Structures are given as C-alpha cells and as structure tokens.
Amino acid sequence: MKTALLIAVLLLAVAMWALWTPDLDRATLERPYLQSPGDMVQVLDQRLHVRESGPKDAPAVLLIHGFGASLHTWEPWAQTLSQQLRVLRLDLPGSGLSPPDTGNDYSDTRSIALINALLDARGLPKVSLLGHSIGGRIAWTFAATAPQRVDKLVLLAPDGFASPGFEYGKPAHVPAAMGLMRWIAPRWLLRMNLEPGYFQSDALTEENLSRYHDLMRAPGARAAMLARLQQTTLLEPQPLLQKISAPTLLVWGREDAMIPFANAADYQRHIANHKLLALERMGHLAMEENPQLALPGVLQFLTERRSE
C-alpha cells in the first residue's frame, strides 16, 4: 500500500512538473510585443500599453479587445483603418503588456474611467469605439453612459446579455478548478480553449497561438484574468442600450460558438440607430479568422459622413 501511494504521489508530481507553466519576465515579452517604449503610458494610477497609428488630425477610433486578448488582435484591421483614421488600441489592465490593475479592480466602471482618462490625455473629446466581446460590452456601456464622447459605435460579437454562469446582478460563477490556470497553462490546453473561437479549424495560426500563450504568461496576467471573471456582474442591458444615440454597426459571425449570432437580435431590439453586418462561415474572432471579410464594411461605416 505504501509503495502504491508513493508511486501515485511521484506520478502526480511528474504530471504537475510537465504541466507547470511559469510566468515570462517583462523583458522577454517586450522584445517581440512592445513596438516602442513610449507605448507604455501612465493613465490615472495605472500603466497601460497603448498603441496609436494614423493621421493625428483624422477622426479617431479606439479599439477595445476581448477577454484574454490584447491590442495585437486588431493588427490587420488597425493597419487598414489607420490609412484614413487615427487609431488607438489599448491593453486593458492585466492583459497583453498592461500590468495588473493597481487596485485589483477589473470592473467595467474602472475600464471606462481609464478610457475616459486616456481620451482626455490624448486631447480627444469624442471618438468612435470598436469593441469585441467583453470589449464590446465596455464599448456599448461607455456609449450609453457618456454619449457626448462617442461618434460611432462598432460592436463585434459583444457580450452583455445573461448566459450560463453569468446572471444579472450577481457575480459570475467561476469554477474553482479554473484557479489552476495560474500555474498550469500548457500550450496544447490553450489551443483547445481558443479553437472554438474560429469556425475554420485551421484559422488559429501558430503565430497567434504563440502570442496568446506568451502574453497570458505576463507577470500577474492569469490572476488578473480570473479576477476579471470573478468581478463580472452583468447589469440589465435593455435600459442602457436604449440610451445609445451613436450610429451603431453590429458585426457578427453566423457560426459564432462563443456568443451566438442569435444574440444580435437582442441588440437590434434596443439600439435605435443600428445596422447589422452578418458574416457567413465566420466564428467569434472575425478580425483574426478572416480579417478582410468584415473590414470593408467597418471602414465604410466609420468613414462615411454621419447624418444627424
């Protein structure tokens, strides 16, 4: 019995050693992922990774990434949009190269406060917003609560309506087993979690997988991801959505397995001035899976003259 127990403990130790995924130091991460040291900026009490491109005198658009992602997810879109627009991208606290939040506050209220302060620092009283997934939820909440600051709104498969584990007015239910990701996050396991975001099985490139895996191993990033989930408390979206006055473009993959295309109807019911761009044979990560599919429609929407 003692021998069998010893063997079991040894096997468990070997398995844990094989799966253990340590953090990477910032210098290692900044070499491939930080374009310029000046992209690390102070906003309120928080250091943020912010990348800007395009003409300074052009209309501005701010791109807000989704859960577990970074500003790099927008790279193909940013390259095209910045030919005609002033494009800002940021890593939310604890994502990408932005350090964890100084007060361990990952609420939407905190994100919106940081975005407001960033826009003030850049001298931008009004911008368009483009948000994906939880970045979409932050974007439409911003547009509802600060309509004077939002010119146009693009929502790419936005989050915000109740779903399993996420009820209105209650903190999200996060399984305790997810806490293991702070120490165990092998590349193959990350691939399994990312693949459902793409309709086409080969759309998750090795380059993108490496980027996701590297940046989730930034110091404190995994604890921040868990905290962001644990602190998610959804509000009833209808009253807020009805306050949105900015022209809104909904962009959604019909084969989205993470936030179903059917959810688009919820936003259509409550946002008065909207258009829908449905993407055939496309999943949740359209800006990575096939960047060119939605980009012409998004660019046209953002650059066309607004009719009041």
Can you give the residue ranges of every domain in the chain? Answer: 24-303
CATH topology for 24-303? Rossmann fold (3.40.50)
For residue range 241-260, what is the model confidence (pLDDT) as tens digits? 999 999 999 999 999 999 99
Closest to 250 in 3D by CA, of 290, 212, 286: 286
Cα 123–chain centre separation: 24
Q: What's residue 52's pLDDT?
A: 98
Which residue numbers in the chain have pLDDT < 50? 1, 5-17
Give the pair of three-digit tokens for residue 61.
Answer: 């658009």
Q: What's residue 307's pLDDT?
A: 59
Report the C-alpha gap between 202 and 195 in whole angstroms: 9
Q: What's residue 16's pLDDT?
A: 45
Closest to 114 in 3D by CA, of 96, 97, 136, 98: 98
Q: What's residue 249's pLDDT?
A: 98
Q: What's residue 12's pLDDT?
A: 38
Q: What's residue 207's pLDDT?
A: 96
pTM over 0.75: yes
Q: What's residue 19's pLDDT?
A: 73
177-186 contacts at long range (C-beta below 8 A, 24 or more positions apart): 178/226, 178/229, 179/226, 181/222, 181/225, 181/226, 182/222, 182/223, 182/226, 183/20, 183/21, 184/16, 184/19, 184/20, 184/21, 185/21, 185/213, 185/216, 185/217, 185/222, 186/19, 186/21
